[in-house]
A and B are shown apart, each in its own frame.
Chain A
Amino acid sequence: MFLTKKNFAFSAILCFGMVAVAQTDTTAVEEEEEDYSMYDNLDFVDEATKRFAPVKIKGISPAKLITVGYDFQGSYDMTAGSFATDRGTYAEQTAEVNSTQGLRVEANIPVISKNSLVVQVGARLWDINYDFENPQSLTNPLLTNLQNNNLTSIGLNSTIYKPLNENTFLLFRVAAEMNGDYGLDKLQSMSYNRYSIAALWGKRPTDNKQWAIGISRTYRAGEMNYIPIIMYNWTSSNNKWGTEILFPARGHVRYTVNSRNMLFAGFELEGNSYRIGNDGGALSDSDFDELEIRRSELRFRFVYERQLKGFVWVSAQAGYRYNYSYNVDQVADGDEFFRGFFGDQEYALENDLTNPLYFNVSINLVSP
């Protein structure tokens, strides 16, 4: 069955015609009609392939890869409790704090990103500076220590998301933090590091909802505690409203103006345990040393997040900072103990803070 000259010509035209069509630039939206119903029921080529619950739900705010922020609390009063050491007796003192402010830098980078496993590694550096109204009048060593030394947090953490099937998942988070009145040029001992862990089991019944329950060992209440966790992320069908809740760490109602503008109202529980007296003085006397501030505060706030350009977002939050704890414990050799909500161990120092307004602004590089 040899081809004729006519067939040869036709074949050649057909071939060159195909090449010509293939070179047409059709990067624009496909206009031609296609019977899309043929794609309704398609199986995986690899029959062993499983579907897994994705880590995100529809409409949730973008994850922040890198954050550079500034946190500012307005004026409030700090009352430091009385105590006695070999050196002397120090009376309770109330002093006005003009402001408490500092830089907050964080990074959270996904290192494994598969359908069946997501692992993210993060780091943070927070700085808290106390600016007292009248530093010369400070007599209580806790206040003078805070005036002279910043509180610094350096932390490393990892979050692991492990979906078990299409709608069930596990979530783990571990964190190690060095918190105290040390300087970056002279870090405190690693034996004072504080460790947190959380484990959750959850469901993702729809693209618009995921929830989980779990348990955490956390310092968000200032001192080490074991606290149940509830996660509830939800987005309405019209994509306008939603919740982003990881109780008790934070909870927000979200309003999406559009995919580049979001408003939130809610709270965050922020806290940790800070080693103090690293530079000596009355807070490191032989009978009154190994001290840690159990700092915990509730921040009721409004947050506005918007895309600046591309993947750069700005976040601005303002609200009311409510002091939950600023007491001081003696933690010998950094060996943590458990008081919980009902323990009766006495604090080394009982302090009180009044509650100011605060704001926080940050520039963020967000995840795709």
Chain B
Amino acid sequence: MKKIISLVSFVFVLLISTSAFAQEPADRLIGIWEPSHGKAKVKVEKIGSKYYGKIVWLREVKDPETGEAKVDKNNPDEKMRTKPLRGYRILKDFQYTDKDEWTEGTIYDPENGNTYNCIVKMTDENTLDIRGYIGIATFGRTDIWKRLKMPSKKK
């Protein structure tokens, strides 16, 4: 009986592990990405069933005006203007549809404090078309993001 329970447990854990580690098409968005301007790196993570991207690297970490770490000073919400940009979540609420697209999300531009509707399209495993737009996708701009290698864990 003990052996049967152990066997069932093993199969159960194996199944869960397999499903956890097999990358779903949607999870290909997870990773570190560099926008075309090269001024930042964005880490995309999955939280619940949605995808979010936060700034994890800035070419210019400090605000030249204050000498302090850059904050989200252009945010229309005054309470957010003291929040550090590094660590800031600029991609929010993306859901995988199909055809290599993640939709229903928004992208935030810290340089002007605007939030745009956004569609993410994976054109190949290492390239994203990030289209921020206003109302309808025609009135928008597409930026190409490239996948970066995952950082090695520090010892």
Contact = CB atoms under 8 A, between A and B. Distances in A.
Main secondary structure of the interface of A (DSSP, over half): loop
B89 A27 contact: yes
B12 to A, nearest CB: 7
A45 B149 contact: yes
A190 interface: no
A43 B148 CA distance: 6
Contacts of B12: 8, 11-12
Contacts of A23: 48
B116 A368 contact: yes
Contacts of A35: 154
Contact of A2 (B6, B65, B92): B6
Contact of A113 (B13, B39, B142, B154): B142
B99 interface: no
Nearest to A33: B87
Contact of B114 (A54, A207, A311): A311
A259 B74 contact: yes
Interface in A107-143: 109-110, 113-115
A86 interface: no
A42 to B, nearest CB: 4
Interface in A36-78: 36, 38-40, 42-46, 49, 51-52, 54, 58-59, 62, 65-66
Contacts of A44: 34, 126, 146-149
Interface centre among B92, B134, B154 (most CB of A within 10 A): B134
A239 B65 contact: yes
A354 interface: no
A260 B154 CA distance: 42
A24 B48 contact: yes
A338 to B, nearest CB: 38
B104 to A, nearest CB: 13
A29 B88 contact: yes
B9 A11 contact: yes
Interface in B122-155: 125-127, 132-134, 138-144, 146-154
Given A8-B5, A27-B89, A29-B89, A110 B141 contact: yes
Nearest to A4: B6
Interface residues on chain B, size class: 35 or more
Contacts, number: 157
Nearest to A56: B37
A163 to B, nearest CB: 9
Contact of A27 (B46, B92, B112): B92
Contacts of B56: 34, 36, 39
B6 to A, nearest CB: 3
A79 to B, nearest CB: 45
A54 B11 CA distance: 52
B20 to A, nearest CB: 8
A15 interface: yes
Given A7-B9, A22-B46, A29-B80, A115 B39 contact: no
Contact of A34 (B87, B111, B125): B87
A30 interface: yes
Contacts of A38: 151-154
Interface of A: 2-5, 7-8, 11-12, 15, 22-30, 34-36, 38-40, 42-46, 49, 51-52, 54, 58-59, 62, 65-66, 109-110, 113-115, 166, 207, 237-239, 258-260, 310-311, 365, 367-368
Interface of B: 3, 5-10, 12-13, 16, 32, 34, 36-39, 41, 43, 46-48, 52, 54, 56-57, 59-60, 64-65, 74, 80, 83, 86-89, 92-93, 109, 111-114, 116, 125-127, 132-134, 138-144, 146-154
6 contacts: A4-B9, A27-B89, A39-B32, A42-B34, A45-B149, A46-B126
Given A23-B48, A39-B43, A42-B34, 8 more contacts: A2-B10, A3-B9, A8-B12, A26-B52, A39-B41, A42-B148, A368-B114, A368-B132
Closest 8 CB pairs between A and B? A2-B6, A8-B9, A368-B132, A38-B151, A113-B142, A42-B148, A39-B57, A115-B36
